[in-house]
A = this chain, B = another copy of it.
Amino acid sequence: MRDIVRIGRVHLATDGAAALSLRAVARDLGVVSSAVYRYVASRDELLTLLVVDGYDELGDAVDAAVERVDRDSHAERMRAIGRAVRAWALAEPATYALLFGSPVPGYEAPAEQTTGPGTRVVGRLVEVWEDAWVAGAGSLPDAPVAPRRLARDLARIRKQMGITAPDALVARGMLAWAALFGCVSFEVFGQYGASTFTDPKDIFELHLDALVEAVGLG
């Protein structure tokens, strides 16, 4: 069982998500294909196991990185999260693609199992921003955001996550969140072009600075 996930991860890293074959996993396990169906209901369920596994690993990496930084250094904590996401994504591109790339066709990750681990990263980000806000370290206006229905949506989000930070910070946070994964995806998926940068980390650090500034932690 544990072995199935382990070998599945190897295949995922080697051949990618859509090429994940239960038969091949069974072969590597030295067992016939029907035998693994005793432990895993379907290929999709194996995919779900790998999704959860990936979210957990990313979450652990982010947790470890953020805890190494002083709790009062809000900007640096945010940078640590960004760097951890990027480093993990570059180390595990196939798993990253499974989590944040195009959905695998015909496969829908069951929400009850994946939303928990899936929100760990954004949860950490929100934690940092909220900390900065209550410490008075932010520099964003606390005026409510423009369209009223959007303000209502943001109010609901604030309530759900227990945030006291104002609309502008929540909205900017979502942008920074999406932008962070946009940058990482561009780099992992090679959208920038092959040899554009001598060291891609340079431009990432610059972007990270801009995102820190965008949420008022400059």
Contacts and interface: CB of A to CB of B under 8 A. Distances in A.
A186 B196 contact: no
A182 B100 CA distance: 10
Given A15-B106, A105-B19, A191-B100, A178 B171 contact: no
Interface string A189-202: 11111101111001
Interface residues of A, number: 54
Contacts of A177: 186
A98 interface: yes
A18 interface: yes
Interface in A68-88: none
Query: Oligomeric state, in number of copies?
Result: 2
Given A174-B207, A186-B178, A206-B171, A16 B150 contact: no
Interface stretch (A1-9, A129-137, A141-149): A141-149
Contacts of A19: 105-106
A162 interface: no
Interface string A174-218: 110111111101100111111011110011001100110010000
B150 A202 contact: yes
B179 A104 contact: no
A106 B198 contact: no
A78 B140 CA distance: 24
A103 B157 CA distance: 32
A17 interface: yes
A57 interface: no
Given A105-B19, A181-B186, A189-B103, A210 B175 contact: yes
Interface in A51-99: 97-98
Contacts of A28: none
